[in-house]
Chains A and B, each alone.
Chain A
Amino acid sequence: MDRRKFLRGFLLAPLAAFAAGEVTVIRNAKILTVTKGSFDGSILIRDGKIAEVGPTVTAPADARIIDAGGQYVMPGIIDCHSHIGTEAVNEGTVTVSSMTGIEDTVDPEAIGIYRALAGGVTTANILHGSANAIGGKNVVIKMRWGKGAPEILLEGATPGIKFALGENPKRRGGGDSGLGGRLRYPATRMGVEDVIREAFTDARAYKAAWDDYRTRAAKGERLIAPRRDLKLEPLVEVLEGKRHVHAHCYRADEILMLLRVADEFGFKIRTLQHVLEGYKVAKEIKEHGAGASTFSDWWSYKMEAFDAIPYNAALMHKKGVLVSLNSDDAEMMRHLNQEAAKTIRYGGLTDVEALALITINPARQLAIDNRVGSIEAGKDADLVIYDKHPLSNYAKVQKVFIDGEMYFDRDKDMSERAVKAARRRQLTEKQKAAAAPARPAGGGRRPQ
C-alpha cells in the first residue's frame, strides 16, 4: 500500500475491523450494565446492536471474539453539554439566535471527537453557546470518527435549542466589555426574561398567522403566504413540544423565573444546564419535570457561580430530579468517569447511581434512552472497555465501540504514533525548505 494513502487512511478512518452486520462477542468481561446489574459475562453484538448480554451468551461458531481479559465494560459515556465537533459555537450578535443551528457547522474531523472517544464518550449533546437568552439549535452526535457530518448525527434524536440566563446573555457590551463599544440588549436578568417572553409572544403570533393563512387558503381565498421566519420556527416547535429546551442557568432565582415563564407559555424545560444552585430549588425542578445537568465540582469562575457545592448532583438526585454530569469542556469530557466518581465521596451515591449520571440519565434527558445509555439487549452496541473499574482514577479506556464498530483502540493508537510523528517531521522539514527564499533577494536576505 502506498505509504501516503496508508497514512491518510488511518488519520481519519474508523477502525473497521468489526463491521456492522457481523456477529461479535465480547467475553470474559466485568459488565456494568447500569440498568440491569453488574456481573461477569459476555455481550453478543449483531448488526450494531446488543443482541444478548449475560453470564453466558449463545454465539454462532463464526462470531468474532474479543476477550476482555477480565476488564470492565460499561455503556458509552454520554455528555449532555459539549461544544466539540463544531466550527462555531456562539452567534452572540443578536438577543435571539434561534435561526442558527450547530448542524450547519458540524466538523466531523475535529480532533476533539477522537479525543472524546479516547475518554470513553460515545454520544454528546452539542450545544450552541450561552451568549444570548435564546440561542441556536443543538445536535446530538455519536463519535463516529471518520464518518461525514450527516452520519455522525444520532438518528432520530429529538431536536433541541439552547437558552441562557444570567451573566452571559446580559452582558450588554460597551466600554471595555470585550464585546466592543456597542451596547446590546438585555443588560439585566429582568431583560433576559423579557427577551424570552417577547420571543415566545412573537412565536405565538407567527403560528397564528400561518394557521390563519392555511385556513383561509384552504377555503380558496387568494392570499400571499406569510414569510417563513427561521428565528421563530424553532420556537413554535418548542411551544408544540417538538423541540427540547436546554437552558444554561446558575442561580435559584433565575431558574424559578424560567420555569414560571415556561409554565405560563405552556412548554417544558427539558434540561437545566450547569444549574449550580439547583440543590436549593430541587423540588420546583422536579415538579416542572426538568432534568438537571451539572458539574461535579466546578464553580466560582464568576459571581453567579459561587454559591455552589459538590453535593449538588447527589442532592438533586435524591429529591427525584433526573440528573446528569456534563463537561462543557473538551478536556473534562475525557474523564467524565472520574467526575461521576466524585458523587460517591460528595453525596454518597452508589457506584451504579454514579455511573448513571454519565450514561442512562443523560440518555433519558435527551430522550435517546431507547438507543443508548445502558447495556441491554436491543440497544446500540456503544461500549467502552476500561482496564480498571471506570470509577477508579487509574482506569484507562482500552477500546470503544459504537454501533458495534470499534472506533478507538488504545493499542493501535499507541503503535501508530511513531509513524505519524515521522511523517510530521518529514513534511515539516520539506515545507520549511520550500518556504525558505530560494536565493537571496536583491534587497538582501531576510533576517533568519
Chain B
Amino acid sequence: MLLAAAGAIAHGQSGSPEIYAIQNATIHTASGPIISSGTIVVRNGLIESVGSGADVPAGAWTIDGKGLHVYPGLIDALSRWGLPPAADAPASRPAAAPTAARRGGGGDDSPSNVQFQDDGGPEERPSNTSWLKAADLVQPNDPALTAARNAGFTTAVVFPPTGIFAGQGSALNLGGGRAGDMVVSSPVGQFLSLSVRGFTSFPGSLLGSIAYVRQVYLDAAHYKSAKAMYTQNPRGLQRPAYDRALEGVLESPRLLLPASRKVEIDRMIRFGRELKNPFVLYGGSEAWRAADSLKAAGVPLLINLKWPERDRESDPDVVDSLRTLEIRENAPAGPAALAKAGVRFAFYSGGVERPADIRRAVKRAVDAGLANDDALRAMTLDAARIYGLDDRLGSLEPGKIANLFVTDGDWLAEKTAVKMVFVDGKKFEPAAGGQTNGPA
C-alpha cells in the first residue's frame, strides 16, 4: 500500500489529517451502482465526494486504492458491544426480605408470624429499566469495540440487554475517544424481551409478560395525557405521580419486539400494532416462512446472525422434531426470502461473538440465495434506514458520516483482509496487515 502525502498535511485533533482521498478503488456505495475505479474524498469526518472523476482537493492525504474495495462501515443493528458485563436482572424495587404484610390479616397468621409477599403486578414495574440509555453506559475502552472495528464495523446500535423493558438503544460510532464522541443518535428505541422471572415474581410466564407490556403502554399513554393536562393548567387537578419507567417508554422513538418463529412474528406484528408505537422485530429464525406476513404489515426485521444449529454437546441419540430440523435447515435462507418479497431487514451479531464469524454467518445467507449487495445493505444502509439514520449513515454519499472500510477483496471472501477502517473520518489500521475473514 502506498501512502503519499500531497502537499501540506493538515492534522486533525488526533494528529491525523483532516482530508483523505482514496483513489482508483472499487467503491461499493450501497446506495447506487458499484464504481469500478473511483475516488472517495473524506474531509473533517464527513464524505465530501464519491465518484469516478471526483477531484482530489489540495492538502489531502491520498491513498492508492488500486486493487482495493471501499465499503460503507458495517453496522451491528442490535448490539451489546461496549457495555459492561450483564449484571443480575434489575429489580425496580429491591427484592429484599419480606415486607410487612400488605393483606391477609396483618400477617399474624401463626406463631411464626408468617408474612406474605404479594409481588404485585404491572404496577410495580418489575424487570424495567426503560430509562437507561446505552450512550450513558458505554465503556469506550471495551476491547470488543476495537475487535469489531478491525473487522469493518464502524457503528453499533447498542441496547441495554437486561430485563423486559431493558432500556434505550444508542447508535454509537466505534471510533473510541470520549463516550459522548461516539454517539450518533440516542435514544433510538426501547428494547423489550418478554422474558419471565420464574414462578414467584411477576411476570412468571409469557402470558404475564405480554399483559405487562400492554399495561405499561396503556399507562404511558395515560401518563402522557395526564401530564399534558396538568402542565397546561395544574389548578384543580391532582398531580400525576412521576414514573421513570413510563418516562423511558415515552422517550423511545420505537420499540424492539422479540420474534423468531413465524408464530411469534405474526403475534408480535399484531401486538406491536396494538401498542400504537413504531416497532421493529428482532430474531427471525423462521423468517423464511414469514416474508408474506412481514411484507403485508410493512414491519422491518432484525435478523440474528447466530443461525440455529444442533448443539455440539447434545446427546447424539436425541432426534429432534422435524420442525426443529427444518428451522435449522432453512434459517439462513430467510434473508433471501425477505429480499425477494421486498421486506426491510438488517443483520445483528446476536450470539455470534467474534467479528470474523459475523461475516461468515452473513456468507451463509448469501450461499442460501441472498445477493451480495443485499447482504451489504443489510449491514449498512438498511440498518440505518430501520433506525431513521440513513440521512447520515449507511452508504457512501456526499455529506454522510465518513464511516467506511477498505479491503483487498470481496468483503465476504474468506481470505479478504480489512486494510483500513474510517470512523468519523478517522483512519484506523487493523494490526498485522489486516484482519481476514479466516479463522481467528
Where the two chains meet, the residues of A that have a C-beta atom closer than 8 Å to any C-beta of B are 4, 7-8, 11, 87-95, 97, 99-102, 104-109, 128, 136, 148-150, 172-174, 178-180, 182-187, 191, 194, 198, 222, 224-225, 227-231, 420, 423-424, 427-428, 430-432, 434-437, 446
Contacting residues of chain B (276-295) with chain A, CB-CB under 8 angstroms: 289
How far in angstroms is the closest Cβ of chain A from B192? Answer: 14
13 pairs from A and B in contact (CB 8 Å cutoff): A8-B289, A88-B207, A94-B119, A94-B121, A99-B121, A99-B214, A104-B206, A105-B210, A106-B267, A128-B207, A179-B200, A228-B218, A424-B325
Q: A102-B207, A105-B210, A187-B109 are in contact. Are A11 and B323 (CB under 8 A)?
A: yes
- In the complex, what residues of A have CB within 8 A of residue B202's CB? 91, 93-94
Report the Cα distance A355→B45, complex, angstroms: 78
User: Once bound together, how far apart are the Cα atoms of A93 and B289, in whole Å?
Assistant: 35
B322 close to A431 (CB less than 8 A): no
Asked if A94 contacts B210 (CB within 8 A), the reply is no
Distance of A126 Cα from B60 Cα, bound (Å): 70
Whether B310 lies near A434 (C-beta < 8 A) is yes
Query: CB-defined interface of B208-243 with A at 8 Å, one 1/0 digit per residue?
Result: 101110110011001001100110010011101000
Q: How far is the CA of A59 from the CA of B98 in the complex (A)?
A: 72
CB contact between B322 and one of A148, A187, A420 (< 8 Å): that residue: A420
- Selected from A107, A182, A436, the residue in CB contact (under 8 A) with B200 is A182
- Give the docked Cα–Cα distance between A178 and B200 (Å): 10
Question: What 0/1 pattern do residues 245 to 270 of B give for CB contact below 8 A with A?
Answer: 00000000000000001110011001
What CA separation (Å) do A194 and B118 show in the bound complex? 14
Contact B200 A173 (CB under 8 A): yes
Q: Is B93 an interface residue (CB 8 A)?
A: no
* A180/B215 in contact, CB under 8 A: no
B205 at interface, CB cutoff 8 A:
yes
* Cβ-defined contact, A427 with B267, below 8 A: no
- Give complex CA distance A105, B320 in Å: 23
Contacts between chains A and B (CB distance < 8 A), count: 183
Q: How far is the CA of A99 from the CA of B204 in the complex (A)?
A: 13
List the A side residues contacting B104 at CB < 8 Å.
Answer: 185-187, 191, 194
B:92-145 near A, CB below 8 Å: 98, 103-104, 109, 114-122
Say how far A420's CB is from chain B's closest CB, in angstroms: 6
Given A184-B119, A225-B226, A427-B328: 19 more A-B contacts, CB < 8 Å:
A11-B326, A92-B204, A93-B202, A97-B207, A99-B121, A105-B267, A180-B198, A180-B200, A182-B98, A182-B200, A183-B114, A184-B116, A185-B104, A185-B118, A222-B233, A222-B237, A224-B237, A228-B218, A428-B320
B205, B226, B237, B316: which has the most chain A beta carbons within 10 Å? B205
Distance between B216 CB and nearest chain A CB, rounded to angstroms? 10
Given contacts A101-B211, A187-B116, A428-B325, A87 and B206 within 8 Å (CB-CB): yes
Instruction: Return the contact of B240 from the options A173, A224, A437 (Cβ within 8 A).
Output: A224
Pair B222/A227 contact, Cβ less than 8 Å: yes
Which among B211, B212, B237, B263 has the highest number of chain A CB atoms within 10 Å?
Answer: B211
B270 to chain A: closest residue by CB:
A150
Specify the main secondary structure of chain A where it touches its partner. loop
Cβ–Cβ < 8 Å partners of B311 in chain A: 435
Question: Contact flags (1/0) for B294-323 with A, using CB distance below 8 Å?
Answer: 000000000000000111101010011011
Contact indicator A99/B263 (Cβ below 8 Å): no
**How far, in angstroms, from A102 to B210 measured CA to CA in the complex?**
10
From B119, B122, B210, B309, give the contact of A434 (CB < 8 A): B309
Please name all residues of chain B whose beta carbon is closer than 8 Å to the beta carbon of A8 when the two chains form the complex: 289, 326
With A228-B218, A428-B325, A431-B310 already in contact, the answer to whether A183 and B116 are too (CB < 8 A) is yes
CB-based contact A11/B211 at 8 Å: no
10 nearest A-B pairs in the assembled complex, by CB-CB distance: A427-B325, A100-B207, A91-B208, A93-B204, A88-B205, A435-B310, A88-B206, A180-B200, A93-B202, A185-B116
What range describes how many residues of B lie at the interface?
Answer: 35 or more
B-side contacts of A225, CB under 8 Å: 222, 225-226
Q: A94 with B120: in contact, given A179-B199, A424-B325 (CB under 8 Å)?
A: yes
A94 and B312 within 8 A (CB): no
A104 and B310 in contact, given A182-B200, A187-B109 (Cβ under 8 angstroms) = no
Once the chains bind, are A230 and B211 in contact (CB under 8 Å)? Answer: yes
Shortest CB-to-CB span from B65 to chain A, Å, is: 35
| Contact between chains at A432 and B205 (CB < 8 Å) | no
Contact A435 B207 (CB under 8 A): no
Please, how many angstroms separate the alpha-carbon atoms of A99 and B309 in the complex?
Answer: 36
| Shortest Cβ distance from A148 into B: residue | B266
Contact B117 A93 (CB under 8 A): no
Q: Contact check, B201 vs A93: say whether CB atoms are below 8 A apart.
A: yes
A2 to B103, CA, bound (A): 63
Given A93-B202, A424-B322, A105:B207 Cβ within 8 A: yes
Q: Which of A7, A91, A446 has the most CB of B within 10 A?
A: A91
Question: How far, in angstroms, from A172 to B98 measured CA to CA in the complex?
Answer: 14
Is B326 a contact partner of A432 (Cβ separation < 8 A)?
no
Contact between B206 and A105, CB atoms less than 8 A apart: yes
Q: Is B391 an interface residue (CB 8 A)?
A: no
B58 to chain A, nearest CB (A): 53
**A109 and B118 form a contact (CB under 8 A):** no
Query: In the bound complex, do residue A93 and residue B322 qualify as a contact, i.e. CB atoms below 8 Å apart?
Result: no
The answer to whether the Cβ of B66 comes within 8 Å of any Cβ in the partner chain is no
Interface residues of B in 308-349 (CB under 8 A from A): 309-312, 314, 316, 319-320, 322-323, 325-326, 328-330
Across-interface contacts of B263 in A (CB, < 8 A): 107-109, 149
Residue B197 CB within 8 A of the other chain? yes
A100 and B211: CB pair below 8 A? yes
Q: Are B116 and A136 in contact (CB under 8 A)?
A: no
CB distance from A375 to the nearest CB of B (A): 33
- Residues of A with C-beta under 8 A to B200: 93, 173, 179-180, 182, 184
Given contacts A183-B114, A423-B322, whether A149 and B205 have CB atoms under 8 Å apart is no
Alpha-carbon gap, A225 to B225, bound state (A): 9
Question: Which residues of chain B come closer than 8 Å to A431, judged between CB atoms?
Answer: 309-310, 320, 325, 328-329
Which residues of A lie under 8 Å from residue B117 when comparing CB positions? 182-184
For the complex, give the distance between the alpha carbons of A149 and B219 in Å.
Answer: 27
Minimum CB–CB distance for B7 against chain A, Å: 50
* Bound complex: CA A130 to CA B145 (Å): 49
Whether A99 contacts B116 by the Cβ 8 Å rule is no
The distance from the CB of B357 to the nearest CB of chain A, in whole angstroms, is 13
